[in-house]
Amino acid sequence: MSVTGNEEVHVDQETLLDQALDALDEKRGSTREKALSVIIETFNSNMQHQFVEKKFATLLHSCLASIKKGSKKASAKEIALASHAIGLLAITVGCGDNAREIFEESVNTLDEYLTSKSNATKIPPFLECLAIITFVGGNDEEETQRSMDILWRVIHPKLGSNVVAAKPSAPLITAVVSAWSFLLSTLSELKLNSKFWQSSISYLSSLLEKEDRSVRIAAGEALALIFDIGSIQKFSAASESTGDMTQEESKVQESYIHLQGLKGKVKNQVENLSVEAGGKGSAKKDLNTQRNLFRDILDFFEYGDSPEISMKIGGDSLQTSSWSQMIQLNYLKHFLGGGFIKHMQENGFLHDVFNFTPKKRYLGGNEPRMSSGEKRMFKSPNSVQNKARTQLLNKQRLLSEGRNLGHYAANAGDDEA
């Protein structure tokens, strides 16, 4: 199908993408929307390595231009599609220089748009885009913390003394908490004694009381993740027995007792939600999803067990065995939608993220011939994919080293105060 006309023509996907990319410069908004839809569908249906190699920068900046046009020239639909296309582009290129460029060129634009009150109805696609480009292109803990802080401010904005914040909707809270948890899953060794994490746990606990089931599920996953990768500093039993506690030890004791109380409250809430009876108008599927999740969380609190997931990808089995992996898998599956299976089968970046190696199946036992561009991307020791894999492994190593999120916790704690 031609992008700008109604004639049905048979063209290869790269030609179709070229047409769509050209159409992003058209004045008519509906034409740009159609072009973005074609780009998203094509990126979902196949890995567009050759096109990305040639037109990466043009596509990125065309999508950013749609976002920067703002509400006067670009519709909410166009801006949402452009945001999703940027996220898809990041997942397609994987870790590497291109992913860094996507992150660096996009993060400020997304931050500005998310803080604009006039664009509140367009926020959810931006949340997903920010989470994805940070997950792929963010190099270190500080960049991840910045994006998490941007997300948190959407539902906890910085306000003047005479400004009253609009109450966030249930879908917005769900989108923020899910994106925030997705990025949190890349961190480790949280020091939960800080004021920020105590206030975060209290806030997420309050969400477990909300009527909207999607909010409760998102909050439950976030709490399980926090207690899974977080640590609670204990006070010195020896100092307590002698009554010779320093001021610092006294603060640790106070926060330890408070956190244990919070954890006990959350556990009781989790237990109630794991056996909740269906109310009037409640969807049975959603209720079962909630019950199953909170049973897993209860098992985690009582026995330390993490959920194990086994998912069929074609003829292969993808397995996860931690809260972090489960949250990452569910988020990426939601973002990719109909393109999830194709990307899990062919996307080297996702293979590295989940340590997943699908079996190659070719008719006649012959591997298909590769173009010169594909050989440069895959076969060369200095290929884009090999460099991306090295950068991903380095990123994972840095993020897995001991850290306490002190800078982030301090800044966020100031906001809460």
3-class DSSP state of 311: strand
DSSP 122: G
- pLDDT tens digits, one per residue of 336-352: 999 999 999 999 999 99
The pair phi, psi for residue 282, each rounded to 5°, is -80, 135
Between CA 264 and CA 98 the distance in angstroms is 45
Superfamily of domain 1-158+167-187: Leucine-rich Repeat Variant (1.25.10.10)
Alpha helices (H) in 138-169, listed in sequence order: 141-155
Q: How far apart are CA 332 and CA 192, in angstroms?
A: 27
| Per-residue model confidence (pLDDT) at position 122 | 66
pLDDT at 134: 97
Q: Give residue limits of the domains in the chain.
A: 1-158+167-187, 188-234+249-305, 309-360
Q: How far is CA 298 from CA 190, 244, 269, 309, in A?
A: 21, 38, 10, 17
Q: How many CB atoms lie within 10 A of CB 380?
A: 12
Q: What is the pLDDT of residue 32?
A: 94
**Are 66 and 82 a contacting pair, CB within 8 Å?**
yes
Read off the pLDDT of residues 224-238 as tens digits, 9 standing for 90 and up: 999 999 877 665 444
- Show Cβ contacts of residue 351 under 8 Å, excluding neighbours closer than 6 positions: 344, 357, 358
Q: Which helix (H) or strand (E) holds 84?
A: helix 76-93
pLDDT at 253: 81
- How do 190-191 and 230-231 pair as beta strands? parallel
What DSSP line would sit under 320-331, residue for residue? E-SHHHHHHHHH
Which residues in the chain come in under a pLDDT of 70? 1-11, 69-72, 117-122, 158-165, 233-245, 278-283, 360-417
Amino acid at 229: I
pLDDT at residue number 330: 96
